[in-house]
Chains A and B, each alone.
Chain A
Amino acid sequence: MSGFTFSEKQEKEITGILSKYPFKKSAMLPLLTLVQRAERAISPEAMVAISEKLDCSPAYVQSVMSFYTMYHAEKVGKYMILFCINISCQLNGCDKLLEHTAKKLNIKVGETTSDEKFTLHREECLADCTNAPMMRINDTYYGDLTEQRIDQILDSLD
């Protein structure tokens, strides 16, 4: 299978990643992350490309990829909202806020908006419990959420 090639810049980055480890298989998660962030999904073609870089079977890449929740076979939105629903956030009313967010985006939890802008996922603890309720949008943590604050945050993203 072909159809996926790393860009020149990515190739350079991959060389850097590989230099961190004595065994190249260790670069598995970094490479999957690289693809996920660039493509917002990991296609079978990309898995083949990774397997070739790391000298392992594509099945093995898929086995690893499907274990971790941050990798997605289906393309996710430009903004990936991970909404924490674990205990500290639950105690602080995250369920209603999540419902509010879904309603605002007009999607169900787990779905992506039709313009591919937002994907909303229920998420387990993200280690920001003292700021509960919280969510993570792409790389940014947002704590002390209220309906109003959520609206503001979502509206500020373009």
Chain B
Amino acid sequence: MTQILFKNINMKDLHTMKVYEEQGGYQALKKAFAQKPEEIVEAVKASGLRGRGGAGFPTGLKWSFLAKDVFPRYLCCNADESEPGTCKDRELMLKNPHSLIEGMILCSYACRVEIGYIYMRGEFHDLIFNMGKAIEDAYAKGYLGKNIQGTGFNLDIYTHLGAGAYICGEESALLNSLEGERGEPRMKPPFPAVEGLYAKPTVINNVETLCVIPYIVNEGAEKYASMGTEKSKGTKLVSVSGHVKKPGNYEVVLGTPIREIIYDLAGGIRDDNNLKAFIPGGSSVPMLPADQVDVLYDYESLAAAGTMLGSGAMIVIDDTVNIVESTLRLISFYMHESCGKCTPCREGTRWLYQIVEKIMQNKGQLDYIEKMEDICDNMNMKAFCPLADACVSPVVSSIKYFRSDYEAYFKNTPVGSV
């Protein structure tokens, strides 16, 4: 198994400067500083790296969209990690904080950024000390601060904590939150690359994405691009949770069959039950039924299967579960996290919740399913940001694949229970 991000992840004291450097840490800086910033951007483009936060946008392309000659520019590392099922960034920051710092330095050099913020969700307060110590050590070593390694390049990195709001993982809401506002998403355009933080050009990348950058600089874009499939290069961290024997974060080369992830890496279904469904990319993507377990884990294969790779969270559900119950839990989540700014999301999430709750009380009516599908259609792609679409995903896919679970309630014979 090729391991890039998790190569030494469980090595003792990897989080310290000493061990990280012993493992070749911060070596990419020398290589990078010998090149022009544009060359790094080109290398990242050539590597085929796509954003690991959820949308999968090509990272190098994103960097090249920065408004020309407008300064200062900012880098925001999205460490909000709030997509249900996802817990890989937490592990990276906890065990290998320096790889993130190194990635941020490389990105900043490439994008001519002089200030970077790590926006962490408020619940990660425990990581502040960890991350803070790593940053402090990087300053002490001259990897951060003024005139880094005599190059004339300056960079400051700060951590910034959120305070409990899923929506702040959406990049423009993150910027609002970082500016001290309510975490409501912003209108686009302007896109952050043109007017982002403090209305200046801003790069926003996920933790995992940035942690990959040192590898690309060290080993070359070709090597990274040699892994994976045509449109999905490199490796991806997958957080496998739910009904598996060995839940955990695993690094897989993109294009690995999902069966391998669930049955080999995560040890198969608990109690040797049967697989019923899995959500391959975090709660916001459509779920798939067990018969699709041979789909390959990459962007294009999952898209072809009608879902998405998302943030790389594999939520595994066995056949003891009634899907309606899980769906209601997810609707409840989106209802709770809707910022309330736009009508379809604010009202639609709650209405869906009310309907599914009613169904689960065996008080539903046959036309409820049709009504839910229509409500979903009225929400989908019509809201201010993708949160409404995310709520629609589990509802529509659960109806598509597990309609009988709903119908069981109408017949007063609910199946399964958690």
**Which residues of the other chain, A, contact B178 by a CB distance below 8 angstroms?**
26
Name the CB-closest residue of B to A90.
Answer: B329
Cβ–Cβ < 8 Å partners of B137 in chain A: none
Contact with B along A103-140 (1 / 0, CB 8 A): 00000000000000000000011111111100010011
Known: A27-B180, A88-B85. A20 touches B313 (CB 8 A): no
Mask, A64-93, CB within 8 Å of B = 1, is 100111110000000000100111101111
Contact indicator per residue, chain B 347-390, by CB within 8 Å of chain A (1) or not (0): 00000000000000000000000000000000000000000000
A29 is contacted by which of B72, B163, B166, B283 (Cβ under 8 Å)? B163
Q: Are A82 and B123 in touch, CB under 8 angstroms?
A: yes
Interface residues of A in 50-68 (CB under 8 A from B): 54, 63-64, 67-68
Chain B residues near A30: list those with CB within 8 A.
160-161
Cβ contacts under 8 Å, A33 to chain B? 122, 161, 163
A86 to B332, CA, bound (A): 9
B163 touches A91 (CB 8 A): no
The closest CB in chain B to the CB of A136 belongs to: B123
Considering the complex, which residues of chain A in the window 22-43 have a beta carbon less than 8 Å from any beta carbon of chain B? 22-23, 25-30, 32-33
Binds A, one of B25-33, B209-217, B237-245, B294-302: B237-245
Say whether A86 contacts B333, CB under 8 Å: yes
Q: Nearest B residue to A95 by beta-carbon distance?
A: B418
Q: Is A6 an interface residue (CB 8 A)?
A: no
How many chain B residues have a CB neighbour from A under 8 Å? 57
- Interface flags, B65-107, vs A, CB<8A=1, else 0: 0000000100000000111111101100000000000000000
Find B164's partner among A25, A27, A70 (CB 8 Å cutoff). Answer: A70
Say whether chain B's binding surface is mostly helix, strand, loop, or mixed: mixed
> CB distance B241 to A129 under 8 Å?
yes
Pull 12 A–B residue pairs with CB atoms less than 8 Å apart, ordered by A. A64-B180, A68-B122, A85-B329, A86-B333, A87-B333, A90-B325, A90-B329, A125-B85, A128-B87, A129-B239, A129-B247, A140-B126
Is A141 close to B, CB under 8 A?
Answer: yes
* CB atoms of A69 and B418 under 8 A apart: no
In contact, A129 and B317 (Cβ under 8 angstroms):
no
A129 to B86 alpha-carbon distance, docked (Å) = 7
Q: Could you tell me if B121 and A127 are in contact, using CB atoms closer than 8 angstroms?
A: yes
Contacts of B248 in A (CB 8 A): 130
Contacts of B72 in A (CB 8 A): 22
A91 x B180 contact (CB < 8 A): no
Smallest CB separation, B181 vs chain A (Å): 6
B128 to chain A, nearest CB (A): 9
Which A residues are in CB contact (< 8 Å) with B84?
A: 86-88, 124-125, 129
In the complex, whether B315 has a CB less than 8 A from a CB of chain A is yes
User: Are B182 and A29 interface neighbours, CB within 8 A?
Assistant: no
B162 engages A29 (CB within 8 Å): yes
Residues of chain A within 8 A (CB-CB) of B134 are: none
Shortest B45–chain A CB gap in Å is 30
Contact for A68 among B85, B89, B183, CB less than 8 A: B183
Q: Give the residue of A28, A86, A92 whose beta carbon is less than 8 angstroms from that of B180.
A: A28
Query: Does B155 count as interface, using CB distance less than 8 angstroms?
Result: no
Q: CA–CA, A20 to B160, complex, Å?
A: 9
Task: Report chain A residues within 8 Å CB of B279.
Answer: 87
Task: Say yes or no: is B165 at the interface (Cβ < 8 Å to chain A).
Answer: yes
For chain B, residues 145 to 200, give those with C-beta under 8 angstroms from any C-beta of chain A.
Answer: 158, 160-166, 177-183, 198
